[in-house]
Amino acid sequence: MAEGRITIKSPRQIELMRQAGRLTAEARAFGGSLVQPGITTREIDNEIGKFIKSRGGYPSCWHLYGFKGNACISVNDEIIHGVPSNRKLVEGDIVSIDLCVCVGDYRLDRNGVAIGGYHGDCCGTFACGEISEEARRLIDRTEHAFWEGFQQAKAGNHVFDISRAVQQDVESAGYSVIREYTGHGIGRSVHEAPEIPNFVPERATGGNPRLMKNMVICVEPMVNAGSAKIRNRRMPDGWIVPLTADGKLAAHYENTILITDGEPEILTRCGD
């Protein structure tokens, strides 16, 4: 999904991305607070959309690539890109909420897609009531893998230093990372170059770019409890939701990161 060339952000652009990131993180936390038995994923999505707009932002996911929702809400074996629906959550579900927020000088096309502006992107996987120990371990390991990758997000390192750290952490716990979807750069568009895979490819067709100060990237481990293989569910409108091929659980954790001349900075933070 990464588009165009790698861009280095100016101080003004970085400040706008801090604003977008903070609101994105607030929306993630708000969405997670709604996860409880009996609520539908569409109800969560509607509330997230209202929350973002009430604070002066715009949901970047809205109709992006044809997606019908304010946020991707994926349940249990849905890995990513879950479509909000009338599905009611039940005790023991795990729910990934992946969302993007736009601020600044954006405009809307005829479908309501935000064009331009500056974007933040993050995801978390949340427990619906009491969950199994297995589910909790998966959620915790997915976030842990993010932090392992985060430590490598430093100027002078390469993209695959992040990839290697994530892959090794996930696989050391007996879990799998999928190959079909990756992290990415972000800025004026939600998905920019470079791609940030959660594994080290055997063939680096997109190269292995060096990380530079004022690049902004999204690191997002997508972790399967079982096999890395996926199967696709095609929705009536053609939208595709990837699921674990073996029906086991999946979790997802993501933040937007600014590369600095020292320690990396997470832009999608809201005081947590």
Mean pLDDT of the chain: 96
Token readout for 152 is 């490598």
Across the strands, what pairs with 257? 217, 266
Q: In what side-by-side order are the strands of the sheet with 222-224?
A: 176-177, 222-224, 250-252
Helix 133-150 × helix 159-172 angle, to 10°: 160
Neighbour tally for 48: CB within 10 Å? 25
Q: Tell me the CB-side half-sphere exposure of residue 121, using CA atoms within 13 A.
A: 25
pLDDT on residue 1: 60
The percent of residues in the chain predicted with pLDDT above 70, rounded, is 97
What would the pLDDT profile of 209-260 be if each residue is shown by its tens digit?
999 999 999 999 999 999 999 999 999 999 999 999 999 999 999 999 999 9
CA distance 146 to 71: 20
Neighbour tally for 33: CB within 10 Å? 11
What would the pLDDT profile of 116-140 be if each residue is shown by its tens digit?
999 999 999 999 999 999 999 999 9
Does the pLDDT of residue 272 top 60, yes or no? no
What would the pLDDT profile of 48-93 be if each residue is shown by its tens digit?
999 999 999 999 999 999 999 999 999 999 999 999 999 999 999 9
pLDDT band at 2 (very low <50, low <70, confident <90, very high): low
Task: Judge if the upstream peptide bond of residue 194 is cis by omega within 30 degrees of 0.
Answer: yes
Instruction: For tokens 């999928």, name the residue.
Output: 178
Q: How many whole angstroms from its chain centre is CA 101?
A: 12
CA distance 149 to 169: 9
Does the pLDDT of residue 3 top 80, yes or no? no
Q: Which of 4, 6, 258, 241 is nearest to 120 (CA)?
A: 258
What would the pLDDT profile of 95-115 be if each residue is shown by its tens digit?
999 999 999 999 999 999 999
Token readout for 23 is 């609101």
CA distance 115 to 106: 5
